Structure 1
Amino acid sequence: MKKSTFITLLCLFGGVVAFCQDVDKSKLDAYFDTLEKNNRFMGSVAISKNGKLIYTKSVGYLDVEGQKKPDENTKYRIGSISKTFTATLVLKAIEENKLRLNQTIDSYFPTIANAEKITISQLLNHRSGIANFTNNDDYLEWNKQPKSEKEMVEIISAFGSDFEPDSKASYSNSNYVLLTYILEKAFGKPYAQLLDQYITKPVGLSHTFLGGKIDPENNEARSYTASDGWIRDSETDRSIPLGAGAIISTPTDIIKFGEALLTGKILSEESVAQMETIRDGYGMGLFQLPFYERKAFGHSGGIDGFRSTWGYFPEDQVSFALLSNGTAMNNNDVAIAVLSATFNKPYDIPVFSSYLLEEDKIPQYLGVYSSSQLPIHITITSDGSHLLAQATGQPSFPLEATGKDKFSFDQAGVVIEFNPAESSFVLKQNGGEFTFTKE
């Protein structure tokens, strides 16, 4: 749900690998213990094979202020993995003849641009053209305030359309907020009740529900941002993301749900096949997540300081779920380590080293930088002892000094190497290198 900081991608690399029946638990424990010791990751992970858990691990704190430690039943906001639950409920409504994939949404939302052309199928596949309301510049100014359906529809309507329906695909949280309202009208019941009736009770998910205000006493994790320790993040009001991102769950519950869904225990084989059909990168509440020659079906998510990833590899009957409530890492790297351990692929336990940035050196880095390679500006500021970077239209993020004139932001895989003599720096990310010069 939350706008991504700079560029964050879920991209698991290709090759050949064999499944190892026994995960090297001691090495994977050491990996997560290292992340915890260095304040790089807080959260929980679970891996299953043939429907049986083969690994679980929880590190960090569910409540930093109260020093409460998480366990395998700690509940996290799962962000956009909620969309898989919502898509499942929509397909259930279709199976019960309460909705049709090809029906348009104009009877529900006449003020939405192109509503007479947009179908439920297009909402599910992100092909509606409806603009993503979380991309709006002022989103973070009002996302903590409760909103009614009328208010949310007005907000989404005001943002208009980005393209003609079904002409292409573009991810939009607006689609799944609207699907939440459609479900409630089709069934005549609140979304939370539908979730309970059709998914959590039948599947036996005892720690999954539509979230509200976070309650650490109920083993619910708060979320945090890494900056000289863990800084508690704000809470998006659940009335805003709803079925697009407001569900709370655990890694083990998500695994149980995913396996039940994709093996035909919740929906018919025909409905599951429709969800799994990928067009322009999107299924119905599902993505394909590649890892070497294998492909999983799953989803990722992010809301406030929470990050989540889930996938199910049907040929191997292997599932994993990774939920975090605080990270100073690129969670994609953590997911790669988890899957490498699962599929017997070598991976390294990271070594973290800090470099003392002398305060009198800070002024030489400060300023606004631009590049002929990218249509953005990056502003470098300081909070006194650390550098902060902010790209156009994005929140600021901390830069960790790793060497002379070298800084990183591991959460997004960003490395910045300054050349003070030339008033420039090189930004490296995802294999690309971009030169920025101070204006």
Structure 2
Amino acid sequence: MKQFITFFTILLFFNLISAQTLSDTNRDSLDFFFKTLEENQKFMGQVELSRKNRTLYFYVSGFSNTEAGLKSGKETTYRIGSISKTITATLILKATEEGKISLDQTIETFFPTIKNAEKITITHLLTHHSGIHNFTSEKDFMQWNTSPKTEVEMISIISGGGSDFEPGSKAAYSNSNFVLLSYILEKIYNEEYADILQKKIISPLHLKQTQFGDKSLPESKKTHSYTYEVKWNKVIATHESIPMGAGGIIMSAHDLSLFLNGLFDGKIILKETLKKMLEQKDGYGMGIFKTTIAGHEAYTHEGRIDGFNSVYYYFPEQQLTYVLLSNGENYHLANINELALKAVFNQPFNLPKINPFKVTFQELAPYTGVYTSLESPLIITISRNGNKLLAQPEGQKIFKMDAMEKNIFNHNKSGVSLEFDPSLNLMMMTQGEKTLHFSKQ
């Protein structure tokens, strides 16, 4: 029996170690995958896998500024969008440890004009249970998001949105919650958010490529974000005064890894405070979510602001951290994450075909037409422009499809695949695990 226990312990230890390293074969496969993405204008950004501050894998591709030809490197910083919420939540929880604020405290003394302020607690803000309307969901948001806003202006905007539901009755994601938490931090410390971030997070963890906003950076140090349409096109940046701690922090992948490792290692807040942070109610923790990916439990948050996209996964059992930061993507990021994590956990994976299959204008003719389905109300018009197949669901924008092989076209960014049978006038549309069947009218 003792020998069996010893063998089992060794086997368990081996399995943990194998998930904390990366085989040469999988490392080479990931290098090839990310290089192919870069060469085909599919991805610009950084990817890092680490364990306890030791980097196991790192890849960087693309440009921080395509117009100036500035290549990205390990020290390049990216706007991490809503991942900032994990950091802001950490700052609030640190403030509770210091006796600056209580999680059960209501917010009417801070924001008397917010509807239901006398019922909304700090916990409600942290876990998106406040009912406060999400100001970024308003139709006019993109008309003013690039101009600086004062706290007074932002509070007026958020107050004007009213309440979507009774505080504590349910949960709904709202950027407004974490903008308000940012202002609360400034009030209780009597300092600007950037200075609080510096003192409580950046300095203690010795982060080198982290700060609030990039307005103070010289142009040569700024990273711009892009969308792809024939070429990379710069996206106008949201002013940092608008998202505040809901989405205004910039970091490198390595610094974000250091922060996450420090957070889960008890270097910022106490372990009992962290436990409270990770508790999920209605699918929400305090600035963090719980999920399962590649068959393993992880804590996560995603970020999207302008053309920047980001995600992290922290695997507590393996003490592994995966970070992806992007300033330009023309590929379905979920597919990148899935493949990378399968490689990390030594699970079978196939490298996708990314190099475009060559087709001519004439060869696209049999696919064109209007398609309907008995399985969905979607009506999709298929047309062509040059050697590109175009798909347009009714009422939506036109999607340029990449030819993968004969009769098969993908839109990698959305993860949609179209497969045609021209002889039967049929089309199959697949996204994720769902497939719909269409007939040409």
Whole-angstrom distance in 2 between the partners of 1:383 and 1:239: 42
Deviation of the 1:30 alpha carbon: 1.2
- The letter for the 2-side match of 1:21 is T
**Which residue of the other structure, out of 313, 330, 342, is the alignment partner of 1:340?**
342
Partner SS state of residue 147, structure 1:
coil
Which residue in 1 is equivalent to 2:351?
A: 349
* Alignment partners' CA distance in 1, 2:149 and 2:425: 46
1:358 aligns with 2:361: yes
Post-superposition Cα deviations, 1:362-396, rounded to whole Å, max 9, x if no partner, equal 898588x8888668887888887756667799776
Q: 2:418 touches 2:429 (CA, 8 Å); kept in 1?
A: yes
Name which one, 1 or 2, has greater alpha-carbon Rg: 2
Aligned equivalent of 2:194: 192
1:226 aligns with 2:228: yes
Q: Which aligned pairs between 1:379-418 and structure 2 lie closer than 5 A?
A: 386=388, 398-402=400-404, 407-416=409-418
Counterpart residue number, 1:126: 128
> Which AA in structure 1 matches 2:214?
G
> How far apart are the structure 2 equivalents of 1:362 and 1:151?
54
Measured in 2, the distance between the counterparts of 1:396 and 1:107 equals 49
Contact 1:365/1:418 (8 A) holds in 2: no
Counterpart AA for 2:257:
I
Indicate the residue corresponding to 2:146 in structure 1. 144
Task: Give the one of 296, 299, 302 matched to 2:301.
Answer: 299
Q: What are the equivalent positions in structure 2 for 1:166-185 lying under 5 Å apart?
A: 166-185=168-187
The answer to whether the Cα contact below 8 Å between 1:73 and 1:219 also exists between their aligned partners in 2 is: no
Distance 1:437 1:190, change over 3 A: farther
The 8 Å contact of residues 223 and 232 in structure 1, kept in 2 or not, is answered as: yes
Whichever residue aligns with residue 100 of structure 2, its letter is K
Give the CA deviation at 1:219. Answer: 3.6
Who is 1:13 aligned against? none
Task: Report the CA distance between 1:120 and its aligned residue.
Answer: 0.8
Q: Distance in 2 between matches of 1:423 and 1:141?
A: 43
Equivalent position of 2:257 in the other structure: 255
CA contact (8 A) 1:70 1:219 kept: no
How far residue 253 of structure 1 moved from its aligned partner, in angstroms, is 0.3
Shift of 1:165: 1.4
Indicate yes or no: 2:240 matched with 1:238.
Answer: yes
Asked whether the 8 Å contact 2:353–2:404 carries over to 1, the reply is no
Q: 1:209 to 1:377 in 2, by over 3 A?
A: farther
238-247 vs 343-352, which moves further: 343-352
User: 427-436 vs 176-185, which deviates more?
Assistant: 427-436
User: Which has the higher relative contact order, 1 or 2, with Cα contacts under 8 A spaced 6 or more apart?
Assistant: 1
Does the residue aligned with 2:240 lie in a helix, a strand or coil?
A: coil
Contact kept in structure 1, 2:21 and 2:56, CA below 8 Å: no
Residue 333 of structure 2 aligns with which residue? 331
* Cα distance between partner residues in 2 of 1:391 and 1:174: 32
Structure 1 residue 339: deviation in Å? Answer: 1.5
CA RMSD of aligned residues (A): 3.1
Distance 1:149 1:361, change over 3 A: same
Moved more, 280-289 or 395-404: 395-404
TM-score with structure 1 length normalisation?
A: 0.86
- Are positions 1:288 and 2:290 aligned together? yes
Shift of 1:337: 2.0
Gaps of 5+ in 1: 1-15
Distance 1:198 1:336 in 2: 33
Amino acid corresponding to residue 78 of structure 1 in structure 2:
I
Give the conservation status (yes or no) of the 8 Å contact 1:83–1:285: yes
Distance 2:182 2:381 in 1: 39
Change (3 A) 1:51 1:394: farther
Distance in 1 (CA, whole Å) between partners of 2:398 and 2:242 is 23
Pair 437,22 (structure 1): closer, same or farther in 2 beyond 3 Å: closer
Residue in 2 that maps onto 1:21:
21
Q: Determine the C-alpha separation between the residues in 1 that align with 2:204 and 2:386.
A: 54
CA deviation map 1:41-97 (0-9, x unaligned): 111111112331122111111211122211111111111110011001111111112
Give the TM-score normalised by structure 2: 0.85
**Which residue pairs with 2:160 in the alignment?**
158
Percent of aligned positions that are identical? 43
- Unmatched tracts of structure 2, length 5 or more: 1-14
What CA distance in whole angstroms lies between the structure 1 residues aligned with 2:377 and 2:143? 25
Amino acid at match of 1:239: S
> In structure 2, what is the Cα distance between the partners aligned to 1:418 and 1:49?
45
- Corresponding residue for residue 5 of structure 1: none
Write the letter of the residue equivalent to 2:248. A
* Corresponding position of 1:50: 52
User: How far off is 1:287 after superposition?
Assistant: 1.2
- Native 8 Å contact 2:133 2:162 kept in 1: yes
Q: Which moved more, 1:160-169 or 1:120-129?
A: 160-169
| Cα distance in 2, alignment partners of residues 74 and 425 from structure 1 | 43
